[in-house]
């Protein structure tokens, strides 16, 4: 059974049984009404954990919208590669939230606000969560990324054993040490962490700590990119080269 991206998607954070009549959660009910869905209309229910369930609108009442679940299609391709994108918390909150939206669209499985020596600004977890769900439905990705509270850079480096590689993007890295070159040298890498600094960049001591923790320090080219641009470039390159379906 192929899933049809032309059918509107709603988010249901659990996998319903085939034939189950499900009341939509409040936010999704609001979305269904905004889409002017009617009885019999087809919808796809995304559980954010790899499942896409074909469903149809059972009823639209004043106080509830019910859908009848059908078969669930489990994603295989997207789930094979796990990319975590860590970015220093940005002083401009909307720019960080833009990274969340693009990260979901490009298939990130974790989007981690990093607390680094030069990160500034505040991270708004609830807003980021809502933006991620909206991007999940719009892109119809199979996975909703984990978005934890801000994590200290050192704590992220301590997670190295959980990844095949950690790539720290640094504007002063040797231009020959590109991310594609690193990925080509580690073709079996399926759990990849990409780390990008805040507007002020990583400090020298952070880069040294990253090297000491066996992270790769990589260049994204000669241009000095904004943090959000660097995050997008790194994720798009890694997703493409490590097999996350576009
Ligand atoms: N402090 C830097 C400066 O003064 O040019 C700017 C940091 S940049 C705005 C934010 C982050 O984007 C950096 O920490 C790095 O992770 C990433 N970045 C920007 N350009 C890059 C490049 N050419 N190669 C690798 N990473 C880059």
Nearest to 110 by CA among 220, 235, 242, 217: 235
Sequence-separated (6 or more) residues with CB below 8 Å from residue 71: 1, 18, 53, 54
Tens-place pLDDT, residues 163-200: 999 999 999 999 999 999 999 999 999 999 999 999 99
227 lines ligand 1 (CB under 6 A): yes
194 lines ligand 1 (CB under 6 A): no
Centre of ligand 1 from the C-alpha of residue 204, in Å: 13
Share of the chain above pLDDT 70, in %: 99
Helix and strand counts by DSSP (H, E) for the chain: 8, 11
95 lines ligand 1 (CB under 6 A): no
Edge-to-edge strand list for the sheet holding 151-152: 151-152, 110-115, 82-88, 191-196, 165-169, 216-218
How far is CA 113 from its chain centroid? 12
211 lines ligand 1 (CB under 6 A): no
Nearest to 87 by CA among 67, 106, 113, 108: 113
Tens-place pLDDT, residues 142-173: 999 999 999 999 999 999 999 999 999 999 99
* Alpha helices (runs of H) in 158-241, residue ranges in sequence order: 179-185, 204-212, 227-241
Predicted TM-score of the model (pTM): 0.95
Determine the residue of 228, 230, 236 to mutate for testing ligand 1's pocket, defined as the one with the most ligand atoms within 8 A of the Cβ atom: 230
119 lines ligand 1 (CB under 6 A): no
171 lines ligand 1 (CB under 6 A): yes
How far is it, in rounded angstroms, from Cα 4 to Cα 12?
17
């Amino acid at each position: 059974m192929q899933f049809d991206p032309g059918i509107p998607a709603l988010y249901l954070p659990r996998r319903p049984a085939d034939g189950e009549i499900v009341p939509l959660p409040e936010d999704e009910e609001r979305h269904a009404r905004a889409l002017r869905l009617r009885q019999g209309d087809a919808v796809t229910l995304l559980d954010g954990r790899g499942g896409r369930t074909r469903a149809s609108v059972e009823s639209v009442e004043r106080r509830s919208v019910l859908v009848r679940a059908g078969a669930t299609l489990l994603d295989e391709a997207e789930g094979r590669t796990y990319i975590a994108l860590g970015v220093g918390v940005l002083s401009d909150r909307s720019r960080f939230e833009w990274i969340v939206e693009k990260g979901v669209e490009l298939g990130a499985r974790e989007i981690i606000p990093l607390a680094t020596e030069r990160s500034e600004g505040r991270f708004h977890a609830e807003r980021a969560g809502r933006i991620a769900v909206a991007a999940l439905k719009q892109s119809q990705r199979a996975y909703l990324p984990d978005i934890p509270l801000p994590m200290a850079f050192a704590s992220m480096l301590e997670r190295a054993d959980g990844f095949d590689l950690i790539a720290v993007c640094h504007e002063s890295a040797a231009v020959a040490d590109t991310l594609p070159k690193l990925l080509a040298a580690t073709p079996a890498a399926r759990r990849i962490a990409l780390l990008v600094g805040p507007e002020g960049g990583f400090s020298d001591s952070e880069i040294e700590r990253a090297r000491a923790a066996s992270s790769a320090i990589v260049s994204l080219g000669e241009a000095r990119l904004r943090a959000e641009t660097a995050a997008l470039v790194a994720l798009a390159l890694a997703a493409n080269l490590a097999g996350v379906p576009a």
